[in-house]
């Protein structure tokens, strides 16, 4: 399991129903990390790492970066999204446009 320490910043946009005890309830920002993602900002305690995943091909979502504790966990939508927080060209290169991306941070199982 690769641990990334730098990525691009994103701001969490909460929906009507905040999931208690998960990223969208505890943080305002996240750091999007992974292969090919520029290391513009370090992962911090205030902006934890999330990774890009797909629910179906061509539909990206963001999920908490796996740790030894969460390896193998399944994540579900939580009515929250992540929007670009600076470095808009990196966001557009990664996702194809500037729209927010769904945050799947509700643990199931």
pTM of the model: 0.88
Confidence tier at 61 by pLDDT (50, 70, 90): very high
Domain map (residue ranges) of the chain: 6-108
Residue 23 pLDDT? 80
| 30-46 tens-digit pLDDT | 999 999 899 999 999 99
Residue 49: count other Cβ atoms within 10 Å of its Cβ.
21
Paired strand residues for 84:
10
Position 49 pLDDT exceeds 70: yes
């Amino acid at each position: 399991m690769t641990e990334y320490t730098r990525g691009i910043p994103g701001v969490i946009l909460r929906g009507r129903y905040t999931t208690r005890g998960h990223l969208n309830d505890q943080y305002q920002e996240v750091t999007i990390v992974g292969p090919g993602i520029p290391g513009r900002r370090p992962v911090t305690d205030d902006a934890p790492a999330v990774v890009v995943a797909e629910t179906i091909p061509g539909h990206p979502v963001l999920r908490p970066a796996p740790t030894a504790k969460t390896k193998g966990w399944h994540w579900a939508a939580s009515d929250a999204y992540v929007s670009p927080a600076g470095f808009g060209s990196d966001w557009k290169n990664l996702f194809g446009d500037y729209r927010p991306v769904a945050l799947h941070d509700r643990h199931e199982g």
